[in-house]
């Protein structure tokens, strides 16, 4: 942790961070801006910080730094794609998909849910289908994961994610046998392990999608299900560090999606459940950071006589007020609500 702070206090790094933030802000505003920022240095620093975020979960530096750094790169430009491949690239994985996968995870770590859902509107899945079964599995799992983070039109993206994995299940018999025949007997077993790891990964994505879709009717502990599948995935590719690191990001991200879901902290009252189901139909499938924090701080504690909630505009006060109204009326049916 001290090494990270020392690096971030370096004058050259501070200058790079300031310039990348300027480019990030102007890019968000769609203003034209010509910068001589070294994209290679930006990406290498991004890669370093992202690894630090994942390997040191309690690190205290501002996680939004890594998000702004990565977002300042134009992945749709030839130069941006080339440099991203050089620093982040994984053989057989679409650069655009991998870029948004990393961006999504940094956003989840930095609690930038709204920003990433807006930024992911730019994401378009690859048109060319990879015929290599291993790479096809990995690309589609990444794509499905991005859809679960984006939640464009709520359940629409979740259904698309489920459809992607369902298609892979139908293709497995055709592709798997042909793929494994390409290897010698000695290597075939190792490749089969990799495929099995990707099947477990896909299953974890499917279970997370099902949780978001079913809500309170999902009967298992999703975090335990995610851990079960990802532990197996990581063990099966323990000799492939790059793939293992991607699986760690999946594990972190899927658990974060679970924790942020509107269903996860709202099971304590039947009428609140009904309200959340109604909100879900309006594409509200997750709680904002401020809402989760308020619930964690016992906002709805029935023993409290007075509760003061202070939040900026668009931080989620209305939903929390609705929760409080429901709890108040449950305790005292004759209670008066003044708005």
pLDDT band at 305 (very low <50, low <70, confident <90, very high): low
- Judged against a pLDDT cut of 60, whether residue 247 lies above it is answered with yes
Tell me how far the alpha carbon of residue 328 is from its chain's centroid: 35
Q: What does residue 286 show for φ and ψ, rounded to 5 degrees?
A: -145, 155
Burial readout 302-332 (b: 16 or more C-beta within 10 A, e: otherwise): eeeeeeeeeeeeebbbebbeebbebbeeeee
What gap in Å lies between CA 104 and CA 97, rounded to an integer?
10
Q: How many other C-beta atoms lie within 10 A of the C-beta of residue 279?
A: 17
Mean pLDDT of the chain: 88
Residues recorded for the chain: 339
- Judged against a pLDDT cut of 60, whether residue 1 lies above it is answered with no
Give the DSSP letter string of 32-68: -------HHHHHHHHHHHHHHHHH-TT--S-THHHHH
Most confident of 6-10, 14-18, 20-24, 76-80: 76-80
User: Tokens for 20?
Assistant: 């990348």
| CA dist 256 → 124, 210, 211, 252, 311 (Å) | 23, 15, 13, 6, 23
- Say how many CA atoms lie within 13 Å of 210 toward its Cβ: 17
* pLDDT reported for residue 121: 92
In the beta sheet, which residues pair with residue 242?
none
What gap in Å lies between CA 252 and CA 226, rounded to an integer?
10
- pLDDT, one tens digit per residue, over 160-204 is 999 999 999 999 988 998 999 999 988 999 999 999 999 999 999
């Amino acid at each position: 942790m001290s090494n990270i702070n020392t690096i971030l206090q370096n004058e050259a790094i501070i200058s790079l961070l300031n310039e990348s933030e300027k480019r990030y802000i102007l890019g968000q505003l769609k203003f034209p801006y010509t910068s001589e920022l070294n994209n290679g240095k930006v990406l290498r620093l991004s890669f370093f910080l992202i690894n630090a975020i994942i390997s040191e979960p309690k690190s205290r530096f501002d996680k939004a730094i890594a998000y702004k750094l990565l977002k300042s790169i134009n992945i749709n430009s030839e130069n941006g794609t080339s440099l991203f491949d050089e620093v982040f690239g994984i053989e057989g994985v679409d650069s655009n998909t991998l870029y948004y996968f990393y961006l999504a995870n940094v956003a989840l770590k930095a609690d930038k849910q709204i920003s990433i859902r807006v930024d992911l509107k730019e994401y378009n899945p690859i048109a060319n289908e990879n015929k290599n079964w291993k790479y096809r599995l990995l690309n589609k799992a990444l794509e499905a994961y991005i859809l679960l983070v984006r939640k464009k039109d709520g359940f629409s993206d979740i259904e698309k994610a489920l459809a992607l994995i369902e298609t892979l299940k139908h293709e497995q018999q055709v592709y798997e046998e042909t793929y494994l025949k390409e290897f010698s007997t000695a290597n075939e077993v190792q490749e089969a392990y990799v495929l099995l790891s990707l099947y477990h990964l896909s299953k974890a994505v499917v279970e997370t999608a099902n949780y978001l879709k079913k809500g309170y009717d999902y009967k298992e502990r999703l975090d335990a299900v995610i851990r079960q599948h990802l532990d197996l995935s990581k063990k099966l590719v323990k000799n492939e560090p790059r793939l293992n690191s991607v699986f760690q990001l999946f594990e972190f991200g899927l658990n974060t999606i679970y924790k942020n879901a509107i269903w996860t902290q709202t099971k304590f009252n039947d009428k609140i459940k009904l309200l959340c189901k109604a909100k879900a139909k309006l594409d509200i499938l997750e709680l904002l950071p401020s809402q989760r924090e308020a619930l964690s701080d016992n906002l709805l504690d029935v023993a409290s006589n007075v509760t003061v909630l202070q939040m900026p505009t668009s931080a989620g006060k209305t939903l929390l007020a609705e929760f409080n109204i429901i709890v108040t009326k449950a305790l005292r049916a004759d209670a008066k609500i003044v708005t």
